[in-house]
């Protein structure tokens, strides 16, 4: 389709940027160039592994400071069920863990110079769409999450009315990174009717809850069936994470940001005693009568971290705001896009079967660079496989490794985008490292990616209210 199709008017994008920039993960003031979609030729590819070329010299991003004016900053409180410890005077050293999967040959059919991507409209007229996912029940339906608190079904090309679930009475979405943020269906959804959502409540705190759909009303969930799985107090209105996802292991993975503010102000990402700044791994299906259980093989259940006890729910730490992450449905590898502050956005990958216990480095590092320091040690830290700077960009939106059947040339390619510029990239293994290529200027504000049951990839446009299918033209 023509590249101009599926885009929103520039005036509407600018208006949204004025009122809601920093949405979902950014929280950093983007350069003015981010309000206009650059030409495809100007979209420099993000840097791949350290063995490859460095990113271009920073321009405006070097002088930026973190946006401090949040919609509302609640009082600092303790994470529910977790005793907060004082932040260590010095960041503890880390124990080296399994490194990211070794790079190899690029997917054999992938040739970025001969490939043209585009977007096809799936649904329009939505209010702040943030995520799209199937239920895994064979119905072919797509479930679309809206920031204000609604979940809609798209079936046979039409939006089903009424909404599948309406949580607007309990969701706070006034802040740019608040709202109904995530949705995950039970791997056995056809039998249980259970699904989980992640939202910020009326007090601005994170809530992960289970809901139920009765077999006789498959297009209508019961809003009164809420069973709270996890509550975490948020010290600020941003860096809420929001993704919930069942892994190949059958456990629920929850991405938690560092609590907001600039420079990891609250000291959470490297604090072993808080859930904030962590990747959580929870057993929510083993006993439906309890909120969750701790998987016995979570990395810090039996082990300490440099002499300190780590919350048992944590699988990894050192994250700033893992807004979107995904598992490769073919290999089980975990891809995490962690939003940077004012200079670098990063993509991390860990191989299937990793025991966890990883440290992704924030705020010791931002991307592949020392953060607010001329020198630091990366020993034991998981380094990104790709990064990009803020020259015309502002906030990474993590995607998926393509495993659909419609476009074989994309098989094995990881796709991600930038929220502000709408630039979409592809990352593939190459030699001893990784290579990243610019693929499409979408012309939209890419708030999320999604998959359907067949592995085809979708993107959501927060400002324009559309959901699009990614196609090879």
Residue 4 lies in a domain: no
Per DSSP, what are the bridge partners of residue 143? 133, 153
Angle (CA) 95 206 133, round 5°: 90
Residue 345 lies in a domain: yes
Residue 1 lies in a domain: no
- 282 vs 229: CA distance, rounded Å: 10
- 83 vs 220: CA distance, rounded Å: 38
Contacts of 70 (CB under 8 A, 6+ apart): 175, 236, 237, 238, 260
Predicted confidence pLDDT, tens digits, the chain (473 residues): 333 333 333 334 434 443 344 444 444 433 333 333 333 333 456 765 433 323 222 222 222 233 333 333 232 233 333 333 333 333 444 433 444 445 667 798 899 999 999 999 999 999 999 999 999 999 999 999 999 999 999 999 999 999 999 999 999 999 889 999 999 999 999 999 999 999 999 999 999 999 999 999 999 999 999 999 999 999 998 999 999 999 999 999 999 999 998 999 999 999 999 999 999 999 999 999 999 999 999 999 999 998 999 999 999 999 999 999 999 999 999 999 999 998 999 999 999 999 999 999 999 999 999 998 889 999 999 999 999 999 899 999 999 999 999 999 999 999 999 999 999 999 999 988 999 999 999 999 999 999 999 999 999 999 999 999 999 99
Which structural domain, as residue segments, surrounds residue 111? Answer: 10-472
pLDDT tens string 287-318: 999 999 999 999 999 999 989 999 999 999 99
Query: Tokens standing for 92?
Result: 């503890």
> How many C-alpha atoms does 46 have within 13 Å on its Cβ side?
36
Residue 105 lies in a domain: yes
Query: How many domains does the chain divide into?
Result: 1
- 236 vs 406: CA distance, rounded Å: 43
Give the DSSP per-residue string, 32-68. GGGGSPPPGGG-PPPB-STTSPPPPPPSGGGG--B--
Residue 461 lies in a domain: yes
- CATH number (domain holding residue 77): 2.120.10.30
Residue 302 lies in a domain: yes
For residues 55 and 46, the answer to whether their CB atoms sit within 8 Å is yes
pLDDT tens string 234-280: 999 899 999 999 999 999 999 999 999 899 999 999 999 999 999 99
Burial string for 171-202 (b: 16+ CB within 10 Å, else e) reads: bbbebbbbbbbbbbbbbebeeebbbbbbbbbe
Residue 448 lies in a domain: yes
For 286, list phi and psi in degrees, rounded to 5. Answer: -65, -35
Can you tell me which residue has the tokens 């495993």? 403
Confidence (pTM): 0.83
- 469 vs 450: CA distance, rounded Å: 9
Residue 2 lies in a domain: no
């Amino acid at each position: 389709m023509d590249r101009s199709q599926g885009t929103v008017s520039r005036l509407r994008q600018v208006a949204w940027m004025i009122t809601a920039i920093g949405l979902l993960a950014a929280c950093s003031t983007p350069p003015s160039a981010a309000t206009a979609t650059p030409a495809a030729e100007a979209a420099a590819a993000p840097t791949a592994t350290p063995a490859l070329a460095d990113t271009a010299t920073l321009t405006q991003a070097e002088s930026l400071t973190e946006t401090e004016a949040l919609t509302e900053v609640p009082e600092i409180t303790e994470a529910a069920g977790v005793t907060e410890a004082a932040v260590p005077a010095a960041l503890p050293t880390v124990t080296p863990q399994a490194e990211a999967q070794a790079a190899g040959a690029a997917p054999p059919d992938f040739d970025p110079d001969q490939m043209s991507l585009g977007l096809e409209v799936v649904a329009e007229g939505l209010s702040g769409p943030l995520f799209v996912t199937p239920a895994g029940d064979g119905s072919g339906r797509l479930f679309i999450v809206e920031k204000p608190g609604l979940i809609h079904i798209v079936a046979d090309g039409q939006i089903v009315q009424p909404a599948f679930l309406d949580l607007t009475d309990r969701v706070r979405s006034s802040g740019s990174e608040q709202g109904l943020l995530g949705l995950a269906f039970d791997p056995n959804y056809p039998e249980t009717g259970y699904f989980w959502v992640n939202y910020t409540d009326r007090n601005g705190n994170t809530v992960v809850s289970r809901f139920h759909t009765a077999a006789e009303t498959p297009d209508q969930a019961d809003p009164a069936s809420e069973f709270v799985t996890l509550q975490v107090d948020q010290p600020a209105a941003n860096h809420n994470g929001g993704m919930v996802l069942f892994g190949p292991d059958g456990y629920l993975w929850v991405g938690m940001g560092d609590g907001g503010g600039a420079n990891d102000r609250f000291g959470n990402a490297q604090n072993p005693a808080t859930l904030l700044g962590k990747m959580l791994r929870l057993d929510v299906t083993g006993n439906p009568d309890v909120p969750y259980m701790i998987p016995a093989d979570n990395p810090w259940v039996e082990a300490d971290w440099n002499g300190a006890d780590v919350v048992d729910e944590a699988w990894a730490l050192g994250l700033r705001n893992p807004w979107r992450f995904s598992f490769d449905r073919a290999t089980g590898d975990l891809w995490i896009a962690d939003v940077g502050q004012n200079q670098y956005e990063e993509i991390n990958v860990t191989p299937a079967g990793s025991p966890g216990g990883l440290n992704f480095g924030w705020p010791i590092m931002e991307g592949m660079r020392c953060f607010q320091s001329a020198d630091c040690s990366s020993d034991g830290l998981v380094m990104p496989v790709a990064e990009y700077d803020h020259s015309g960009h502002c906030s990474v939106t993590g995607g998926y490794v393509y495993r659909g059947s419609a476009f074989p040339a994309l098989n094995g390619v990881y796709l991600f985008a930038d929220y502000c510029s709408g630039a979409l990239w592809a990352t593939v293994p190459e030699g001893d490292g990784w290579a990243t290529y610019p693929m499409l200027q979408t012309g939209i504000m890419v708030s999320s990616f999604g998959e359907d049951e067949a592995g085809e990839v979708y993107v959501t446009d927060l400002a324009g209210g559309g959901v699009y299918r990614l196609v090879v033209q």
